[in-house]
Structure 1
Amino acid sequence: MPSALRKAYAERLDSGRLKHDPAQTAALDHLEALETRLRRRDLFGGRPKVRGLYLWGPPGRGKSMLMDLFYAGAPEPRRRRAHFHAFMARIHDLIRQWREGDAAARRRVFGQHRGDDPIGPVADLIAREARLLCFDELQVTDIADAMILGRLFEALFDQGVVLAVTSNREPGDLYRDGINRQLFLPFIDLIRDRCEVVEVAGPQDWRVGRLGSSRVWYAPADDMGRRQAFDHLWQDLRGDEPEEPAVLRVDGRQVVIDRTVGGMARASFEALCARPLGPHDYLALAERFHTLFLEDLPLLDEGRHSEARRLVTLIDALYEGKVRLVTLAAALPEALYPRGIGAFEFERTVSRLNEMSSRAWIEQRSGERPPV
């Protein structure tokens, strides 16, 4: 008898929301096997070790969609689904609370107060909240994350927590060339020991297919049909995944992107270019996301040359990072900033915006972009 997971997948095939993909079908087998392991754990009680699952492969292959279906019917009531970066942001906040809190504050949050090392109490708290952790987009670029992951997950695994995760990288490629990477290697060993590692590498990037068949420059923004089409494309690519904020740590600061789904981000021109952000912020954005929905890009006059300059810097970072760009704008690129300080240099940005709006960019550049 088909499992609830396989039935949900079959319903999406029958409705036309999905097309048959052998790599996804193979991944379903492994997800069903994890369901079985979780059920057996409940039968035997206690905290027996249950091997989790690490799904990895190029973007757009349906890994997050499969994780959504698995999570919806997972036979573990104490479970948590989160983007990996959001989870790590909370971990760092909990570590801060332990280090800064007095005994009363520690007992209130953690139920204990003794000791200087925060990793044990933080792991205890997470383990009480969830016995199954499901993460999207596991990637490690921050040294602060890299230095604590091994100890944190060793403690979580010791308490019987099971991990199900998606990533664009094979475990051995995580934090490649990172500072003090040798201190991160035990985490890679943990993943391989405590998770079944399965590649999901079908030939078709389904998101690119949907982007390639849609326009990616919507103008004018005050046309209700254009705005609705922009929103519809976001919803189509988002699927059933929840939106959540992402925190980028840049040069000791935090840059918050309010609306993200996996490797996609949605932000307004005002949020990205009317704030004092710079090249490092935009490079971090381009490294973190493979697709950006940029909305409400206005006509810029001479009085907004600072915003125009930031837009130039943003597009340069996205272009070099080969990020896919979907834009809701007041006009075509040529009309955005025709005169003012830096208008001549803006012509290069116009050229790049036109190239990034082409089907060739969506289909060819996406394949060249290194996995993150």
Structure 2
Amino acid sequence: MSSSPSAGSSTTGSPTAGEAPIAEAAPVSLCSREPHVPADRLVAEMVPPPRFDSVRFSTYLPDPNQPSQTEAVQVLETFAAGLGGAHAVGGSARRGFFGLGRPKAPKTPPGPRGVYLDGGYGVGKTHLLASLWHATPAEPSLKAFGTFVELTNLVGALGFQQTVQTLSGHRLLCIDEFELDDPGDTVLVSTLLGKLVDAGVALAATSNTLPGKLGEGRFAAADFLREIQGLSAHFRPLRIDGEDYRHRGLPEAPAPYGDEQVTKAAYATEGASLDDFPRLLEHLARVHPSRYGALTDGVRAVCLTDVQPVPDQSTALRLVVLADRLYDREVPVLASGLPFDQLFSEEMLKGGYRKKYFRAISRLTALARDAKPLVEASGAA
């Protein structure tokens, strides 16, 4: 069935032989979006993101030169198995919204209530954390997975007591990228986790470094255990050594393309967005980071022109969150301008948020590699 081009279409007819197909509608602009995320969506989305939806312990490929990686898999498999047990099912036991009206699930025997995955960026901690969520023998409504930022956003949306009530019936709460650089939020979440441990919820976490704790790109378990105060006895640290798997044995990331190539690829790619990088950075300041995932709803590729160095730390930290959401959702990023390893100043890369910036570079580079076929398919290569 044929149809006329829609408003904003980039083509006036069918492509001729040898030409790349042109998307029927012009690309969207992330700068035109100001999403609002209701509290119930925040709760429903506490599951591993699309990139980690199909990961399992069996799909984790330990580096043979890093025995700690194999050991971590074995410990986590045992930990997951220990979270099993009968639990109520059926209509009479279904949980009402926010966890009301459901009997609490049976909990595991006394012992360490949590595991902390300690290692550098790119060693597969999120893969292992999501694998633990998948391997825990409980229905999805009794397991929660989210970043530290998403957890604090949940508390902001529901209130502290309602969040405790919502999560206290869970078997497991997985927290990725536990933020240790905001004392107020750290105390808030530590208090929340204390309530959940008292309710019998098992915990698993990865974390970021504290400001000034550079550690060659690694975390320090002692920092994490100290910052969560009275919860340290409930966590078993698991050290995971290794190199950044995202670039291990892979070719160098493609160099940035020209503005014309990026624009042509954006118009030729269904579901792509197209934005000027400096304008996008300005727009991110007007959207709460909890909404960055919703900002990219339905976007299948992000195309950026005129990538420049990030001007300040606040902007840089917002970009880190956007990079995480794009990586979670496996959205390729095609860009012109500077390469991603020049986004952050030398001062930023030596400062307290060093680990976050290197993670963002690593993830954006991987997404840039994923975007290379878009240019080839558009004929703009």
Please say if residues 164 and 196 of structure 2, whose CA atoms lie closer than 8 Å, have aligned partners that are also in contact. Answer: yes
More helix by share: 1
Give per-residue Cα distances to partners, 1:189-235, cap 9 Å, x unaligned: 40x21121111112x2212326654425345225659x99xx9xxxx
* 1:125 equivalenced with 2:189 (yes/no): no
2:343 to 304, 315, 318: 315
Please say if residues 292 and 321 of structure 2, whose CA atoms lie closer than 8 Å, have aligned partners that are also in contact. Answer: no
**Pair 48,272 (structure 1): closer, same or farther in 2 beyond 3 Å:** farther
Q: What's the secondary structure of 1:221's corresponding residue?
A: helix
**Pair 208,216 (structure 1): closer, same or farther in 2 beyond 3 Å:** farther
Q: Please list every run of 5 or more consecutive structure 2 residues that lacks an aligned counterpart in the other structure.
A: 1-54, 88-104, 209-218, 273-283, 350-356, 376-381
| Structure-2-length-normalised TM-score | 0.51
Q: What's the secondary structure of 1:281's corresponding residue?
A: helix
* 1:165 equivalenced with 2:165 (yes/no): no
Q: What's the % identity of the aligned pairs?
A: 20
Give per-residue Cα distances to partners, 1:167-189, cap 9 Å, x unaligned: 35334324xxxxxxxxx956244
Deviation, 1:143, is: 3.7
**What are the equivalent positions in structure 2 for 1:48-63 lying under 5 Å apart?**
48-50=109-111, 51-63=113-125
**Pair 210,145 (structure 1): closer, same or farther in 2 beyond 3 Å:** farther
In structure 1, the partner of 2:293 is 258
In structure 1, the partner of 2:316 is 283
In structure 2, the partner of 1:209 is 248
Q: Distance in 2 between matches of 1:216 and 1:260?
A: 26
Q: Distance in 2 between matches of 1:131 and 1:157?
A: 10
Deviation, 1:272, is: 9.4
1:254 maps to a residue whose letter is H
In structure 1, the partner of 2:22 is none
In structure 1, the partner of 2:46 is none
Please say if residues 144 and 172 of structure 2, whose CA atoms lie closer than 8 Å, have aligned partners that are also in contact. Answer: yes
In structure 1, the partner of 2:240 is 200
In structure 2, the partner of 1:302 is none
Q: Distance in 1 between matches of 2:60 and 2:320?
A: 32
**Pair 29,289 (structure 1): closer, same or farther in 2 beyond 3 Å:** farther
* 1:68 equivalenced with 2:127 (yes/no): no
Please say if residues 57 and 131 of structure 2, whose CA atoms lie closer than 8 Å, have aligned partners that are also in contact. Answer: yes
2:155 to 91, 97, 102: 91
In structure 1, the partner of 2:211 is none
Please say if residues 172 and 188 of structure 1, whose CA atoms lie closer than 8 Å, have aligned partners that are also in contact. Answer: no
Deviation, 1:131, is: 2.2
In structure 2, the partner of 1:35 is 80
More strand by share: 1
Q: Distance in 2 between matches of 1:254 and 1:54?
A: 28
Aligned length: 247
2:150 maps to a residue whose letter is A
Deviation, 1:147, is: 3.0
Q: What's the secondary structure of 2:187's corresponding residue?
A: helix
Judge which range, 318-327 or 83-92, deviates more.
Answer: 318-327
**What are the equivalent positions in structure 2 for 1:107-122 lying under 5 Å apart?**
119-122=160-163
1:88 maps to a residue whose letter is T
Q: Report the RMSD for the aligned CA atoms in angstroms.
A: 4.8
Q: Distance in 2 between matches of 1:284 and 1:26?
A: 33
* 1:22 equivalenced with 2:67 (yes/no): yes
Q: Distance in 2 between matches of 1:271 and 1:161?
A: 47
In structure 1, the partner of 2:48 is none
